[in-house]
């Protein structure tokens, strides 16, 4: 297993455009998490899935953000009508249960210009 | 609410010096506590954890003890190496919410 993969590694987009990120978790992990990290800050929770069910969404996740995890495998995070404030590193992690710890991907760095 | 507070960085040390990075927490229940490390250009990695009071987590020469009375989980290492240069994140997790809450991170710089 190669760990958690995120694609793309970097994305530069113009304000107002839509972007979609993909995360492929460790196959044995039923939990998948999305976090956002800005410069000098720790990761902030956005949402998480157990299998295909989205169990919690943060208030940080406005209605421009949507996440899916069809069939409980990979996940996508879409941001519609991007704003400059969306510029950040978007992190995906998977876990067999939080007591086991998370395995993080390397992240997708989004820059909105 | 639930939160984690870490000491401001950067922490700058010479090789073989003793390291302490302070972490305190506020939680409404009985959290598990974690330290994650982020090396330059890499994703966050679990360094160590403790799931109940007085537990000591340890890995790669790093240690942290879960102190309920002081709501702390300070990270220590007796002799740091240049390769320990990274950003260290303290985090808490509550089983009923099944997610981690992270501190802001502390950058460690070790010079030869």
pLDDT digits (tens, 9 = 90+) for B43-88: 899 999 999 999 999 999 999 999 999 999 999 999 999 999 999 9
Tokens describing residue B106: 């502390």
Judge residue A113's burial from the number of C-beta atoms within 10 Å of its C-beta, 0-12 exposed, 13-18 middle, 19 or more buried.
exposed
Q: How many angstroms away from the CA of B70 is the closest CA of chain A? A: 22
Q: What percent of chain B has pLDDT over 70?
A: 100
pLDDT reading at B90 higher than 90: yes
pLDDT reading at B94 higher than 70: yes
Residue B23 touches partner A, C-beta closer than 8 Å: no
All residue ranges of chain A with pLDDT < 50 are none
Question: Which of A46, A40, A38 lies closest to A88 in space, CA to CA?
Answer: A38
Q: What is the mean pLDDT of chain B?
A: 94
Are residues B90 and B102 in contact, defined by beta-carbon separation less than 8 angstroms? yes
Q: Which of B34, B49, B100 to mutate to test the interface with A (most CBs of A within 10 A)?
A: B100
Q: What is the pLDDT of residue A38?
A: 93
Are residues A108 and A88 in contact, defined by beta-carbon separation less than 8 angstroms? no
Q: What is the pLDDT of residue B84?
A: 97
Q: What is the pLDDT of residue A56?
A: 87
Strands (E), chain A: 5-7, 10-13, 19-24, 31-37, 44-50, 53-57, 65-68, 75-79, 88-95, 103-104, 108-112
Residue of B43, B98, B102 with shortest CB distance to A42: B102
Are residues A102 and B96 in contact, defined by beta-carbon separation less than 8 angstroms? no
């Amino acid at each position: 297993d190669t760990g958690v993969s995120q694609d793309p590694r970097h994305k530069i987009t113009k304000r107002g455009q839509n972007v979609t990120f993909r995360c492929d978790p460790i196959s044995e992990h039923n939990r998948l998490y999305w976090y956002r990290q800005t410069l000098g800050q720790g990761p902030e929770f956005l949402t998480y899935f157990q299998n295909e069910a989205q169990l919690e969404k943060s208030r940080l996740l406005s209605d421009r953000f949507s996440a899916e995890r069809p069939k409980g495998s990979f996940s996508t995070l879409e941001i519609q009508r991007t704003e400059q404030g969306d510029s950040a590193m978007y992190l995906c992690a998977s876990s067999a249960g939080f007591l086991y710890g998370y395995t993080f991907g390397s992240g997708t760095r989004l820059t909105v210009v | 609410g639930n939160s984690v507070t870490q000491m401001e960085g950067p922490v700058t040390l010479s090789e073989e010096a003793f390291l302490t990075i302070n972490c305190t927490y506020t939680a409404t229940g009985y959290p598990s506590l974690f330290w994650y490390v982020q090396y330059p250009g890499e994703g966050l990695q679990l360094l160590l954890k403790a799931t109940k009071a007085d537990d000591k987590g340890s890995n790669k020469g790093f240690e942290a003890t879960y102190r309920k009375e002081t709501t702390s989980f300070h990270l220590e290492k007796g002799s740091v190496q240049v390769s320990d240069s990274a950003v260290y994140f303290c985090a808490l997790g509550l089983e009923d919410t099944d997610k981690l809450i992270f501190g802001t991170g502390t950058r460690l710089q070790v010079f030869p």
